[in-house]
Amino acid sequence: MPKPFTEWKVLDHGALIPVDDDILSVEGTIPMPVGNMRRRMTIVRLRDGRLVIYSAVSLDADEMRELERYGKPAFLVVPNSHHRLDAKPWKDRYPDIEVIAPEGAREKIEEAVPVDTSLGRFADPDVALLTVPGTQEVALVVRRLSGTTLVINDLIGNIRDAKGIGGWLLKWMGFAGSRPHVPGPVKRAIVKDTKALADQFRNWADQPRLRRILVSHGASIERDPKGALRELAASLG
């Protein structure tokens, strides 16, 4: 994993894509020892026009102008200690942005950027942030008329199109596979209680209007997200 950037550094990325009402997503790449890995930033627009930036990615000038037309960046969610890469440049660009991170990862994240809180007080009843039980990661739950979107970071991997030597290495290390899974390195690094995490997966699966899961690495899960969560829970025992 590269060291956290101290200046705005644009790596390869795509365009901002609408996911649902007031939800945008953009995919980019991150250099890894095993080859480039896909990564996702999710942007949620609150009722008052402020933006929640989840797992920040520094974009080029055109896409940043588009993002700023969309709303005002107000909250920067650093979902775990492995997603600090662009946090400081975003804080430097938007000094008033509130930095949110899980309490269990705060010390490590603060090596890159000061953390304001572990709580998401968004003043929007349709957008909630929680520390995922049994882990050192935070997730977003976003409710819309069309259904609920779960925004999660490393706890669920869904890289299915890894190819070549780099793809083989990603599979060998547990980051890529044929179905959604909890990557082995993630389980060892940030999961502290597998039963608590499995219970949370089941809790999300029981939500009646769950429509999709956005993960930071890999394709979004839109086909039977409840079934995927139940399989993930079962895999944890």
Residue 222 has pLDDT above 60, yes or no: yes
Q: Give the Cα separation of 139 and 123 in Å (integer).
A: 17
Strands, DSSP E only, in 55-153? 72-77, 98-100, 127-131, 138-144, 147-151
pLDDT at 206: 96
pLDDT of residue 18: 98
Longest dimension (CA), the chain: 46
Q: Which domain holds residue 101?
A: 17-235
Instruction: Name the band, by pLDDT with cuts 50, 70 and 90, for residue 109.
Output: very high
Q: How far is CA 157 from CA 94, 161, 185, 217, 229, in A?
A: 30, 12, 11, 6, 12
pLDDT at 2: 75
Based on DSSP, count helices (H) and strands (E) in the chain, helices before strands: 7, 10
pLDDT one-digit tens code per residue, 23-54: 999 999 887 665 677 899 999 999 999 999 99
Q: Which residue has the higher pLDDT, 165 or 39?
A: 39
Cα torsion angle, 93, 97, 101, 103, sign: positive
What is the number of domains present in the chain?
A: 1
In a domain, 10, yes or no: no
Q: Is the pLDDT of residue 168 over 60?
A: no
> Would you say the C-alpha torsion 175, 180, 181, 182 has a positive or negative sign?
positive
Residue 8 inside a domain? The answer is no
Decide if 202 contacts 237 (C-beta within 8 A): no
Residue 65 has pLDDT above 90, yes or no: yes
Domain for residue 171, yes or no?
A: yes
Pick the range with the lowest mean pLDDT from 42-51, 178-187, 206-215: 178-187
Say which residues have a Cβ less than 8 Å from residue 198's Cβ, sequence separation at least 6. 232, 233, 234, 236, 237
Q: Confirm whether 107 is domain-assigned.
A: yes
Please check whether residue 6 lies inside any domain of the structure: no
Q: Are 213 and 205 in contact (CB under 8 A)?
A: no
pLDDT value at residue 192:
94
Residue 7 forms part of a structural domain: no
Strand, coil or helix: what is 73?
strand
CB neighbours of 208 closer than 8 A, spacing ≥ 6? none
Domain contains 3? no
**For residue 120, what is the domain's CATH number?**
3.60.15.10
pLDDT tens figures, 112-134: 999 999 999 999 999 999 999 99
Residue 127 lies inside a defined structural domain of this protein: yes
